[in-house]
Structure 1
Amino acid sequence: MDSREIARRLQTVCAIHVTPFDDATGAIRWDLLDANIDHLLAAGVSVIVTCGNTGEFYALTLEEARAVTAHVARRVDGRALVVAGVGYAVPTAIALAHSAADAGADCVMIHQPIHPYVTEDGFVRYCERILDGAGLSAVLYFKDPALGDGVLERLAEHERLAGVKYAINDLPRFAAAVRRVPAERGLSWVCGTAEKWAPFFFAAGATGFTSGLVNVAPDKSLAMLAALQAGDSAAVWRLWQEVVPFENLRAKYDNGNNVVVVKEAMRAAGLDGGVTREPVAPLGERDRAEVARIVATWRGQPS
């Protein structure tokens, strides 16, 4: 699948699935992962991102990351686009990309480097080497505000780059970045900060958004997409009001709550996302109660 086709298919909800861990042992619960993927597919999700941040990529060993990607690709079996997160050192990212390709993934997502010292030329070279060596088209996860958007203009020239997951909540900056890259390049611009920010990013040029909420309430995520695509502003803002309390709770503690709120909400909704791994701790009592209240409200139950 070439990068143009990947870009076209990214114009949707990009579901970042959770990785369920056992409460007692911390091991991956493959049965719960299957249930999570089946839930997303049954809801009509058409892009599944494995080894994303909501999947706790950096809490996985490299062997586990390979295994999760392979397991998800087998479970999806062509029913959705599978995007596999890769990262760490350049050779490691390329090796993970090759494993993903062998497993049947359609595309990779290049995680933001975790190195504490990053220069713009170095970042461009990091991404170019992975794009050159991955063997698959790629989405770039861009979330470091210290990097200038000129790096995206440079990387857009690479034929394997299909899209940018833009996760800096600076809308004038994002709008300018979209317009710096020639439209004929055909990149897909994806809002990387979920439903809370999707309406604003769509107004500035995004055509898709990532979601962790989709693990809990895919109907809300897909309804927001449909409303955004139809230009139905009344529906957009009604849905936005429903999901903002959830997204605000995820953003607590400098986004430390990001994954654990999703998993707790799954539990409250009768699903099972397992527990999180360190360095994420279980939710405190007050936050757990707020999750339960939000999910009950969505389900039309007394809160």
Structure 2
Amino acid sequence: MDYANFSEKFSTISAINMVPFEEGTKAINWGGLEENIHFLIKNGMEVVVPNGNTGEFYALTLEEAKAVTEKVTQLVDGRALVVAGVGYAVDTAIELGKAAQKAGADCVMIHQPIHPYITSEGAVSYFKAIIEALDIPSIVYFKDPNLSDDVLKELALLDKLVGVKYAINDLPRFTKLVREVPKEHNVAWVCGTAEKWAPYFYNAGAVGFTSGLVNIYPEKSKEMLTALKNGDQETVWKIWEEVLPFEDLRAKYNNGNNVVIIKEAMEKVNLTAGVTREPVDPLNEEDKRALSELLQAWGLTADKVQV
């Protein structure tokens, strides 16, 4: 595989798709998932990420996670890059990665280890074991500020590491890292904290950003990407002001609202999002009102969002 060219595919929006759950049983609504994926593809998403945190990866059983990857890959049908989230213990992550390979996914995203006891050296061993065990390339989800960026510098030497989803909002730290990793390693740096932080990361060397907003308002995310690529700073910051209240709502309660804000917004405009699974609670009344006012300000209503 030409890993250098592969890494260029991340110079775009990485769309973290939602997984709808039925009210009451909280079973996966597979028809709703199909609607969501078609919505993303119809709206021009070039990278789709099943089993991301916004897709409630940690609320899925392993068999469900495998099934979600398989279903999303089937639905995308080669029209976008499919990057399947994997995680947990090394052997479990490899098992999920091999299932993703078999399903036809293009790449895996290795979640940040959730083990309570971790060192930078241990993180290198963890990520490296998974990357080397798979045939398809990997990107690393890096969000623990207590881990050294030396982890990524060491992993960058691996051909099959094609990107990093960097989710630590420390811009000087990120800038230094990007400048210290040689370009010949072909690592695509992706802002992992969505539209709120995308302009800052982009100017520091990121080539794209992740998004949950695309599940409800893809036009606005694409406008930001285009403005960033064109160096149109006036438009970038205009869009940033428009999306900031939404991202701030998601960030409430130490990011506890991350998923439920999107699901609530989708349901309000007649997209299928369903309920969340524990430990994500339903949205409280205060935040529901704030979200409704924002959607109204955006002009997003059920008759204006084309499924």
Same fold (TM over 0.5): yes
Compute the displacement of 1:166 (Å): 0.3
Q: Where does residue 117 of structure 2 map in the other structure?
A: 117
Show structure 2 runs of 5+ residues with no match.
Answer: 302-307
Identity of aligned residues (%): 57
Cα distance between partner residues in 1 of 2:22 and 2:300: 30
Compute the displacement of 1:54 (Å): 0.6
- 1:20-169 equivalence runs, <5 A: 20-169=20-169
- 1:228-243 equivalence runs, <5 A: 228-243=228-243
Compute the displacement of 1:183 (Å): 1.1
Q: Where does residue 298 of structure 2 map in the other structure?
A: 298
Amino acid at match of 2:218: P
RMSD between aligned residues: 0.9
Q: Where does residue 221 of structure 2 map in the other structure?
A: 221
Q: Does 1:174 align with 2:170?
A: no
Q: Where does residue 245 of structure 2 map in the other structure?
A: 245
Secondary structure in structure 2 of the residue aligned to 1:83: strand
Partners of 1:11 and 1:188 within 8 A in 2: yes
Q: Does 1:273 align with 2:247?
A: no
Partners of 1:249 and 1:261 within 8 A in 2: yes
Compute the displacement of 1:294 (Å): 0.9
Compute the displacement of 1:136 (Å): 1.1
Secondary structure in structure 1 of the residue aligned to 2:238: helix
Secondary structure in structure 1 of the residue aligned to 2:53: coil
Cα distance between partner residues in 2 of 1:290 and 1:135: 46
Secondary structure in structure 1 of the residue aligned to 2:159: coil
- 1:6-17 equivalence runs, <5 A: 6-17=6-17
CA deviation profile, 1:169-220 (whole Å, cap 9, x unmatched): 0000000010110012111000000000000001100010000001000001
Partners of 2:131 and 2:138 within 8 A in 1: yes
Compute the displacement of 1:125 (Å): 0.4
Compute the displacement of 1:127 (Å): 0.5
Compute the displacement of 1:268 (Å): 1.8
Amino acid at match of 2:93: A
Cα distance between partner residues in 2 of 1:219 and 1:74: 25
Partners of 1:193 and 1:209 within 8 A in 2: yes
Secondary structure in structure 1 of the residue aligned to 2:229: helix
CA deviation profile, 1:139-166 (whole Å, cap 9, x unmatched): 1000000001111100000110000000
Partners of 2:269 and 2:300 within 8 A in 1: no
Secondary structure in structure 1 of the residue aligned to 2:169: coil
Cα distance between partner residues in 2 of 1:100 and 1:5: 21
Aligned residues: 301
CA deviation profile, 1:26-59 (whole Å, cap 9, x unmatched): 0000000000000000000100000000100000
Q: State the TM-score, normalized to the length of structure 2.
A: 0.97
Question: Which runs of structure 1 show a deviation greater than 4 angstroms over 4 or more consecutive aligned residues?
Answer: none
Compute the displacement of 1:7 (Å): 0.8
Cα distance between partner residues in 2 of 1:42 and 1:244: 25
Q: State the TM-score, normalized to the length of structure 1.
A: 0.98
Compute the displacement of 1:247 (Å): 0.2
Cα distance between partner residues in 2 of 1:47 and 1:130: 21
